[in-house]
Amino acid sequence: MSYQPGRHFLQIPGPTNTPLPVLAAIAKPTIDHRGPEFGKLGLEVLSGIKTIFKTESPVVIYPASGTGAWEAALVNTLSPGDRILMVETGWFSTLWSRMAKKLGLEAEVIPGDWRHGVDAAVIGAKLAEDKAKAIKAVCVVHNETSTGVTSGVAAVRKAIDQAGHPALLLVDTISSLGSIDYRHDEWGVDVTVGGSQKGLMLPPGLSFNAVSDKARAAAKAATLPRSFFDWEEMIAINGKGYFPYTPSTNLLQGLKVAIEMLHAEGLDNVFARHDRAAEATRRCVRHWGFEIQCANAAEYSSALTAVRLPEGHSADALRATILERSNMSLGNGLGPLADKVFRIGHLGDFHELMVTGVLTGVEMGLAACGIPHKPGGVQAAMDYLGGNAARMAQAAE
């Protein structure tokens, strides 16, 4: 029996630390997915999940991890050879565009520097140029998990509208849903892609497509082959709380509890909690003297912070040291950021004490690795959180 004492701190930007009530719900015995008890559960989660996406439209729940829901968004709405516009915000937007190409789509990727979010103006310009309306969809990542940059989705919608362009808007919210405010209906998104293992605080294994009427209409004409991911069969049978094929019953049991927990806290409180954790983390990082990967303060992610180490220092060696001595997992740098950047996930089921605890682990790791930094970052985080609390206390009076 091997054993490392104490709780593991899973501070990658997802999967996140699953709360025990959710794990307990998942560990309940599997029920008959064709029986009456399941029907009730199905209606409950299908309706509950809409409140998280902030939509009145159907949300399709796949028994598949998030990458599957990316594919679902594409194969339901598009046909072989279709032109789509994608934006390189980092590693995950890149993977999504690679997938589009593998599926036979002609994906034009607007290049990016991995330090900024989506530039809606560029999208607008591209669409304006597209007199033939050949571009069928615009795909953006709301919160780029590889860089900690959150893009303005409403602005993209506005740009599309101002260009008078009929392209669909497809948005990946895998690492923002349930952590950062997101509004499928209000922002006019056609397909929102989500996953279970981040802000929803579940293990990986479920993923989502929130689907607008316009997207469903497009699906009727779309000819990319699809079966497992096909929306219509799902939506039809979902009306009674069931699924066309075996769903991930146990994860759905957990999803019910996770949605209840989010609403018990209040979504706005959830988002504010993430905002504070993120700001505390950034103040700490800046105090240490490190650069934050996100170069635009208006686009800081509240779900994670990617930290750039000074030249000549290995982020992966730092992470390995921290894993070994502090039993904490941090996210690695991806693609061109490999070994240059590490990522601190501050999303899901946590509170301020976990934020400061995490930062002590990083600060001790920096010392252990001999990476030059100005000590006292944790103090800066505590000062902010304390001051914040004091202000909140005043405000409440």
CB atoms within 10 A of CB 274: 24
Is 319 annotated to bind ligand? Answer: no
Min separation Cβ 140 and a copy of itself, Å = 19
Indicate the residue among 79 and 188 with the shorter CB distance to a copy of itself: 79
Min separation Cβ 257 and a copy of itself, Å = 9
Indicate the residue among 75 and 159 with the shorter CB distance to a copy of itself: 75
Min separation Cβ 239 and a copy of itself, Å = 19
CB atoms within 10 A of CB 324: 12
Asked if 19 and 352 touch (Cβ cutoff 8 Å), the reply is no
> d(Cα 64, Cα 84) in Å, to the nearest integer?
24
Phi-psi region of 215 (alpha: psi -120 to 50; beta: other; left: phi over 0): alpha
Indicate the residue among 158 and 329 with the shorter CB distance to a copy of itself: 329
- My answer on whether omega of the bond before 15 falls inside 30° of 0, hence cis, is yes
Min separation Cβ 380 and a copy of itself, Å = 11
Min separation Cβ 223 and a copy of itself, Å = 9
Indicate the residue among 239 and 386 with the shorter CB distance to a copy of itself: 386
Side by side, the strands of the sheet bearing 291-292 are: 9-11, 328-332, 341-345, 304-308, 291-292
Tell me which residue of 135, 69, 141 sits closest to 105, measured CA to CA: 135
Indicate the residue among 24 and 134 with the shorter CB distance to a copy of itself: 24
Min separation Cβ 171 and a copy of itself, Å = 18
Indicate the residue among 133 and 325 with the shorter CB distance to a copy of itself: 325
CB atoms within 10 A of CB 40: 12
Indicate the residue among 117 and 195 with the shorter CB distance to a copy of itself: 195
**Two structure tokens written together for 323:** 């894993």
Min separation Cβ 228 and a copy of itself, Å = 4
- Sorted by sequence, the CB contacts under 8 Å of residue 344 that are 6+ apart come out as 11, 13, 281, 304, 305, 306, 307, 330, 331, 358, 362
**Dihedral angle, C-alpha 112, 114, 116, 120, nearest 10 °:** 40
Q: Residue 226: what are its φ and ψ, rounded to 5°? A: -160, 145
Segment holding 171, helix H or strand E:
strand 168-172
* Binding site as annotated, residues: 343
Annotated binding site for substrate: 343
